[in-house]
Structure 1
Amino acid sequence: MSNSSTPASLPGEKKRKKYGKFTVQRMKHPTGTVYWRVAGTINGKRYRKNFQEKSEATEEKQRLEVKQRAEQNYEKVVMTSLSREECEEAKIAFKMLEGRKKPLSYYVRYALDRYREAEFEQTVETSIDEYLKHKRIEHQRNIITAVQLRTMTTQLTKFKAEYGEKLLGEMDPELIRNYLNNLTFGENNSHISPKTFNNKRGYLNTFFRFCVLKDWLMLNPLDKVPQFTIKAKRGSAETITAEQAEALMKYVEDYDGDPDNPKRKPLPKGIFVPYFALCLFAGLRPDIRTGEIGRLKKEHIRLDTGVILIEPEVSKVDEKRAIKIQPNLRLWLEKYPLDEYPIVPNRLEYHRKIIRKKNGLDHNVLRHTFISMIVGAFQSVGDAALQAGNSENIIRKHYLDLKTEAEADEFWRITPEGTSLPSNLVKVGGRFDESKSLQVI
């Protein structure tokens, strides 16, 4: 018997249907012999086959119809060791990969290389606790400062409150990016600045890098959360004038509570003087949580030797330095002694906001003013750098030539009400001091 199979379409031939009905036809040779032909179309190809017996042709027709139905349903009849459930999973996987260029095995291998089973994963809360425990040991070994430890603890505690119950493997880049983008500050809930975004991202980045080193994660999700590119725009530091500084200290001396609150309980006048005097006339970093003023003890203020000792545990940069107590600062500290007027009184943050708002002060303007007045009065970049805890390059870049010597001298004459400085003060070694007449022998 003869068999034949032709392409789906020939030149000049009408396009054939992809699937056509199979039939069994009785055929007759010119010699008179009868045979049976099975004909139809499957997958765009015409199929014909001849059989001597009708039963054989009928069986072939049935076999081809089964194959045709399988082709139409995108299924193939194959022998497999997979269970029905496993076959269904495979069908779902191939359906999900429609349109992708790589084979299924590539994506399976990729997942196996990067995925950790839930039973081996830790929660975010447990991981942060382990990380902070490690950082506390580093602090004890003087690898990181107390300020660094406190700041990272604050940032990660906030993150833990948001996602502590989640597994580490669930922390994908998009989730962390949304967390950072939704952070706000201030009474108006303004979005954080690009610089603050980068800083907070940095704390999370070091935490997730720690998790990768511990094999709790395969990849750091922060690798796909880019930082903001910030152009250097900083120029001269913002300061206040000697006249504004005098008005500020007069306001602080008279301040006894929120003037806009008629039901306030009056505070002792001058209670906040030491804080503002130390920030303005000694340049201490003003944040009571992370700044130097919050860690300074009264024993660090040595009126007998005329210096304020900033120990490494107090300093932002973990380095010891000494700030010279100028004569006017001495008068402020003597009139408002620290035994009666603490450096950080109760509710300082609340009242500080009121005082700053009433006097138009930015966060670091008092420290900036101190540095610029030191440079203006003594014309020494090196001395200002030593007292402020900055590099000479920073002093030249941001504080040089901001104040005239005359204005700086006026600033260093600001004293408490009812006090005055000696008239014979001269500048000696970066400090105002009383001149001593030469003795004739």
Structure 2
Amino acid sequence: MAKIREVLKGNKTTFEVDLGRVAGKRRRLFKPTERLAERTLKEQERKRKLLGNHWDELDFKSRWTTLEILEEMRDHGVTLTEVWETYQKTHLSHGKSIIEDAIDDFLDIKSEAGRRGRYMKEMSRALARFAQGREKRQLGSVGSGEIRSWIASFQGSAATRKTMQMRIKTFFAWAERQALIAKDPTTRLETIRIDQADPQILSVAECRRLIQSARAIDPDMLPYFALSLFSGVRPDECARLTKKDIDLERGQIVISGEASKTRNRRIITLLPPAERIFKKYTFGKFAVNFRRRRTAIKKHAKIKKWPNDVLRHTAASHFYNIYGMDEATKQLGHSASIMLKHYRQMISKEETEDWMNI
């Protein structure tokens, strides 16, 4: 129970407010008048009552964890104040960067470094979700536990959580390199691992129905299928190509470094089904309302399952039969390990011959 006592201090009468033991140490405040002492006592009692209310609001697990931590601190002779002061020195004082400012700087620097629009859009969206409710906090105040909880809040697939973990790790690794934080908290996170599903491709019958449907309801989309289904060009690369990149005289497609996902130039040999399309249909009219038009063609062809990058995966599996591993990877623009891990589906050479005749 706090008390007020009149005492002599330096030959002067003063009033001692004895607050008892706080954090293992006796705490006393001295005031020049009794009135100030009483006011101080009332304020301390108000704070204690408020603290008691906060304690009552905690669930049992939080109370128990708090008591365990305080017990461990006492065993090591450390006070709560010392712990907080140390945390401030090692985390909050380093750089003193605000989260929203750090995100803006990160995006500006990445844009200046030449990152493409899709990368910038995806990173911006992920970081905006992370910053929500944290905008004005210091970046150094974010710990690994908070990041782990944020990642776990995504209730979708494990692949979604893995993607978010990779993006937030990119940001905090950059912040450490820029000396905005003392240590990257994401280094303490366990890497999310997911089982690699078997590559999904379209059957030859589905490919044929797809091309027939495009011819029937939207022939201007056929050059897109020539690129993606019969040449293995990535969706983003398709959007960056122009008519001049299709060389019918040499029988090839030129993917420039500017258009390539990997930023490396490559040349793709035009296979007969793609060549037949480019000789008959005008290139470049598939970009407008692309998703709606592609969905309409899928529906017309009665194709229900459409896994991510299914057209490129289909092409890659046939490329393996046509070219073999080494040349197929050159045509597709990736490594042999990626070919085996993500793309190659075992299909017969007879199926590939049938596919070439679509």
Q: TM-score, normalised by structure 1?
A: 0.59
Do the aligned partners of residues 74 and 254 (structure 1) sit closer, same or farther apart at CA in structure 2, a change above 3 Å counting?
A: same
Offset from partner CA, 1:291-348 (integer Å, 9 cap, x none): 322222232222232211112222222211111112321221232202xx5242x221
Q: Name the SS for the 2:253 alignment partner.
A: strand
1:179 aligns with 2:122: no
Q: Say which one has the larger Rg.
A: 1
**Deviation (angstroms), 1:356:** 3.9
Match of 2:126 among 150, 155, 159: 155
Q: In structure 1, what is the Cα distance between the partners aligned to 2:25 and 2:341?
A: 79
One-letter amino acid matched to 2:106: Y
Unaligned runs of 5+ in 1: 1-69, 184-190, 256-268, 415-441
Q: Name the SS for the 1:292 alignment partner.
A: helix
Q: Which residue of 1 aligns with 2:101?
A: 126
Aligned residues of 1:375 and 1:399 also touching (Cα < 8 A): no
Aligned residues of 1:381 and 1:396 also touching (Cα < 8 A): no
Greater share of helix residues, 1 or 2? 2
Do the aligned partners of residues 390 and 214 (structure 1) sit closer, same or farther apart at CA in structure 2, a change above 3 Å counting?
A: closer
One-letter amino acid matched to 1:195: A
Q: Larger relative contact order (C-alpha < 8 A, sep ≥ 6)?
A: 2
Structure 1 runs of 4+ with >6 Å offset? 75-89
Q: Which residue of 2 aligns with 1:281?
A: 230
Aligned residues of 1:356 and 1:362 also touching (Cα < 8 A): no
Q: Which residue of 2 aligns with 1:226?
A: 190
Alignment of 1:82-97 (within 5 A): none
Q: In structure 2, what is the Cα distance between the partners aligned to 1:77 and 1:156?
A: 44
Alignment of 1:9-408 (within 5 A): 98-99=70-71, 100=73, 101-102=75-76, 103-104=78-79, 106-116=82-92, 121-139=96-114, 148-149=119-120, 151-160=122-131, 163-183=134-154, 191-231=155-195, 233-235=196-198, 237-255=199-217, 269-286=218-235, 291-338=236-283, 341-344=284-287, 346-356=288-298, 358-360=302-304, 361-376=306-321, 378-396=322-340, 402-408=346-352
Q: In structure 2, what is the Cα distance between the partners aligned to 1:401 and 1:225?
A: 34
Q: In structure 2, what is the Cα distance between the partners aligned to 1:110 and 1:162?
A: 25
1:412 aligns with 2:351: no
**Deviation (angstroms), 1:222:** 2.7
**Deviation (angstroms), 1:245:** 0.6
Question: What percent of counterpart residues are identical?
Answer: 22
Offset from partner CA, 1:23-77 (integer Å, 9 cap, x none): xxxxxxxxxxxxxxxxxxxxxxxxxxxxxxxxxxxxxxxxxxxxxxx99x66999
Q: In structure 1, what is the Cα distance between the partners aligned to 2:157 and 2:25?
A: 62
- Give the number of aligned pairs: 307
Do the aligned partners of residues 123 and 368 (structure 1) sit closer, same or farther apart at CA in structure 2, a change above 3 Å counting?
A: same
**Deviation (angstroms), 1:203:** 1.6
Q: Name the SS for the 1:390 alignment partner.
A: coil
Q: Name the SS for the 2:238 alignment partner.
A: coil
**Deviation (angstroms), 1:369:** 1.1
Q: In structure 1, what is the Cα distance between the partners aligned to 2:27 and 2:342?
A: 79
* Range that drifts further, 405-414 or 389-398: 389-398
One-letter amino acid matched to 1:217: I
Q: Which residue of 2 aligns with 1:419?
A: none
Aligned residues of 1:124 and 1:160 also touching (Cα < 8 A): yes
**Deviation (angstroms), 1:408:** 0.9
One-letter amino acid matched to 1:342: K
Do the aligned partners of residues 302 and 229 (structure 1) sit closer, same or farther apart at CA in structure 2, a change above 3 Å counting?
A: same
Offset from partner CA, 1:386-405 (integer Å, 9 cap, x none): 11112234435666672222
Q: In structure 2, what is the Cα distance between the partners aligned to 1:349 and 1:228?
A: 31
Q: Name the SS for the 1:176 alignment partner.
A: helix
Q: In structure 2, what is the Cα distance between the partners aligned to 1:254 and 1:241?
A: 20
Aligned residues of 2:220 and 2:282 also touching (Cα < 8 A): no
Aligned residues of 1:145 and 1:318 also touching (Cα < 8 A): no
Do the aligned partners of residues 128 and 400 (structure 1) sit closer, same or farther apart at CA in structure 2, a change above 3 Å counting?
A: closer
Aligned residues of 2:92 and 2:138 also touching (Cα < 8 A): no
Q: Name the SS for the 1:293 alignment partner.
A: helix
Q: Name the SS for the 1:312 alignment partner.
A: coil
Q: In structure 2, what is the Cα distance between the partners aligned to 1:78 and 1:223?
A: 41
Aligned residues of 2:253 and 2:268 also touching (Cα < 8 A): yes
